[in-house]
């Protein structure tokens, strides 16, 4: 049996895999619908980018405050409840004529509800695939197929939104979360919460202790800090997603063009992860810095206002280089003890998504004063500088001891 076959032979991995693919595809359909909905009503690049940024911003609070639920309650239950809650909120968002301020408020709740579910999913994957080689392989497979699901979701989202309207795109996302919940209920074992196996048990003190222990673990371990820094470079090259609608309008595109541009990055990331997975294990850490730089550099060319085809190619190259997140995220999760994995993952995800949301919001604000193509190019230049700085910290950190004082206490 091949290595990939051994991973898929695990029924729990298959359930996690299917649930992630279905819900991610639905999310991308909804993102296209949301972008088109806001742009059609406001004709404003700033409001469109701000609405898109709301898919990231709520995790500033939800990530650290709610991800610890994945360590205090059974993780399967956390994932299922989070999926069903998001489905209900998306159905409400799809009500025709709902004021944009209400849509925005519901979107905040949708993203907040996802924080504990995503943390539980990441921690469960490490439990389902406990061996390091199996975990890296399984994580790579999930990430690659997630990117493919994003490509399909964005492409399908553009077509669905153009044909039926943005409300149907939101309903499609709601249905995807219901399917995900059903798959998780049927395919995952009912494991007890990690906190239930500890001496202190769940409760207010445990919740606060988990939060502070997770924060100290990330803050006091140089390698974990550096990996978070490299991940946050995404806050600059991800800005293309928030500007896709006004950029497409600038180059004469339609709603379908928005889907093409949004799909370009994930499509490139699929190719990049296929390449990165096959590289020697010892080589991957040395490639994190150059790949982070390469994820930003192609965006500089957008200053010349290339057409749709060239822009899609540039964004695909950026996506290809963004594959450095695969070895970086695998190293992060594997370095954290299981009892604190949900909380630490939530804190890291908060840093990443805060950088993404803030980057998209600021880029949208800048696009009210400058052409979208110019803003994309500026973000690319700033991203190159940030990647150089974060890469230097990583090169120092990977030669430092892996276990800091906080991690010793957690272990």
Q: How many CB atoms lie within 10 A of CB 282?
A: 7
Q: Are 115 and 66 in contact (CB under 8 A)?
A: yes
Q: Which two tokens stand for residue 368?
A: 């009210």
Mean pLDDT in residue range 238-257: 81
CA distances to 4, 100, 142, 221, 317 from 125, in Å: 15, 37, 10, 23, 29
What confidence tier does 184 reach under pLDDT thresholds 50, 70, 90? very high
Query: Which pLDDT belongs to residue 409?
Result: 41
Q: Which two tokens stand for residue 201?
A: 């048990």
Instruction: Look over the chain and give the mean of its residue pLDDT values, rounded to a whole number.
Output: 81
Query: Which pLDDT belongs to residue 208?
Result: 65
- Using the predicted structure, report yes or no on whether residue 154 has a pLDDT greater than 70: no
Output Rg (C-alpha) for the chain, integer angstroms. 20
For the segment 192-245, what is each residue's pLDDT rounded down to a tens digit? 877 554 444 444 446 666 677 777 888 887 888 888 999 999 999 998 888 888
* DSSP 8-state class, residue 191: P
Tell me the domains of the chain and their CATH numbers: 6-185+205-410 (1.20.1250.20)
Q: Are 25 and 157 in contact (CB under 8 A)?
A: no
Mean pLDDT in residue range 283-311: 91
Measured CA to CA, the distance from residue 173 to residue 27 in angstroms comes to 6
Closest listed residue to residue 15, CA positions, set 56, 75, 69, 86: 75
Query: Which pLDDT belongs to residue 21?
Result: 82
**Residue in this structure with the two tokens 């091949």, named with its chain if needed:** 2
- Using the predicted structure, report yes or no on whether residue 405 has a pLDDT greater than 50: no
Measured CA to CA, the distance from residue 182 to residue 335 in angstroms comes to 31
Measured CA to CA, the distance from residue 209 to residue 231 in angstroms comes to 26
Q: Which two tokens stand for residue 240?
A: 């293309």
Query: Which pLDDT belongs to residue 83?
Result: 92
For the segment 58-108, what is each residue's pLDDT rounded down to a tens digit? 667 777 777 778 888 899 999 999 999 989 998 998 888 788 788 878 878
- Global model pTM greater than 0.75: no
Point out the least confidently predicted range of 155-159, 274-278, 286-290, 346-350: 155-159
Which of 73-77, 124-128, 176-180, 292-296 has maximum average pLDDT?
A: 292-296
What confidence tier does 48 reach under pLDDT thresholds 50, 70, 90? confident
List the end-to-end C-alpha distance of the chain, in Å, as a whole number: 34
Query: Which pLDDT belongs to residue 287?
Result: 92
Q: Which residues contact 345 (CB under 8 A, 6 or more apart)?
A: 67, 70, 118, 119, 122, 123, 332, 333, 336
- Using the predicted structure, report yes or no on whether residue 254 has a pLDDT greater than 70: no
Query: Which pLDDT belongs to residue 322?
Result: 94
Which residue has better confidence, 236 or 407? 236
Mean pLDDT in residue range 151-176: 74
Percent of the chain with pLDDT over 70: 84
């Amino acid at each position: 049996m091949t290595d990939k076959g051994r991973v898929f032979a695990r029924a729990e991995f298959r359930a996690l895999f299917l649930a992630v693919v279905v819900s991610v595809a639905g999310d991308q359909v909804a993102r296209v619908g949301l972008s088109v909905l806001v742009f059609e009503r406001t004709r404003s690049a700033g409001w469109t980018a701000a609405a898109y940024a709301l898919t990231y911003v709520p995790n500033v609070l939800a990530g650290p405050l709610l991800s610890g639920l994945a360590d205090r309650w059974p993780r399967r239950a956390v994932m299922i409840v989070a999926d069903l809650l998001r489905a209900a909120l998306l159905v409400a968002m799809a009500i025709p004529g709902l004021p944009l301020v209400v849509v925005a408020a519901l979107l905040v709740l949708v993203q907040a509800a996802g924080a504990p579910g995503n943390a539980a999913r990441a921690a469960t994957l490490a439990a389902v695939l406990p061996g390091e080689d199996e975990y890296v392989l399984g994580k790579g497979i999930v990430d690659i197929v997630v990117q493919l699901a994003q490509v399909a979701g964005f492409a399908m989202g553009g077509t669905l939104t153009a044909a039926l309207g943005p409300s149907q795109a939101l309903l499609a996302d709601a249905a995807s979360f219901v399917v995900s919940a059903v798959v998780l209920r049927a395919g995952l074992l009912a494991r007890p919460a990690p906190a239930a196996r500890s001496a202190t048990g769940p409760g207010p003190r445990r919740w606060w202790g988990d939060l502070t222990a997770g924060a100290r673990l990330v803050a006091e371990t140089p390698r974990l800090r550096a990996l978070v820094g490299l991940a946050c470079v995404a806050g600059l090259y991800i800005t293309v997603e928030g500007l896709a609608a006004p950029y497409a309008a600038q180059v004469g595109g339609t709603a379908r063009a928005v889907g093409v541009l949004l799909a370009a990055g994930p499509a490139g990331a699929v190719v990049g992860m296929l390449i990165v997975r096959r590289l020697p294990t010892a080589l991957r850490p040395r490639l994190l810095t150059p790949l982070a730089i390469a994820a930003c550099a192609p965006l500089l060319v957008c200053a010349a206002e290339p057409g749709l085809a060239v822009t899609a190619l540039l964004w695909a190259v950026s996506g290809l280089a963004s594959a450095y997140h695969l070895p970086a995220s695998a190293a992060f999760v594997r370095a954290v003890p299981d009892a604190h994995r949900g909380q630490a993952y939530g804190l890291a995800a908060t840093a990443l998504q805060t950088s993404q949301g803030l980057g998209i919001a600021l880029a949208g604000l800048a696009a009210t004063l400058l052409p979208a193509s110019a803003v994309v190019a500026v973000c690319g230049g700033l991203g190159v500088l940030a990647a150089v700085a974060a890469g230097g910290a990583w090169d120092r950190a990977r030669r430092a001891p892996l276990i800091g004082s906080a991690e010793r206490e957690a272990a």
